[in-house]
Amino acid sequence: MASGERVVPFYCPYCGEEDIVPDTPPEGSGAGHGHGYWACRSCLRGFRLSLTALAVASGGTAVITGGAFGAAEEQAAR
């Protein structure tokens, strides 16, 4: 997959149904936050997909770097 491509989810993470459609972000979410919102027509739930960190293989174990968890994980490894 090329950098910047967005992948469409195949099913709802709550009910498992495949009846999902792109959704609009909530009011006041700011510029640049319109991607990754989805709505399930089966269970009527909305959810958002976003990348939080990258997992890099390091000697058989995965090390999480960057994102919201990067600082905590790197600090815990020391």
Q: Which band of pLDDT confidence, cut at 50, 70 and 90, is reported for residue 76?
A: very low
In the chain, DSSP finds a helix count (H) and a strand count (E) of 1, 5
Task: Give the angle subtended at the CA of 45 by the CAs of 41 and 46, to the nearest 5°.
Answer: 100
Predicted local distance difference test score (pLDDT) of residue 15: 97
User: For the chain, what are the domain ranges?
Assistant: 20-77
Q: Which band of pLDDT confidence, cut at 50, 70 and 90, is reported for residue 73?
A: very low
Q: Which band of pLDDT confidence, cut at 50, 70 and 90, is reported for residue 53?
A: confident
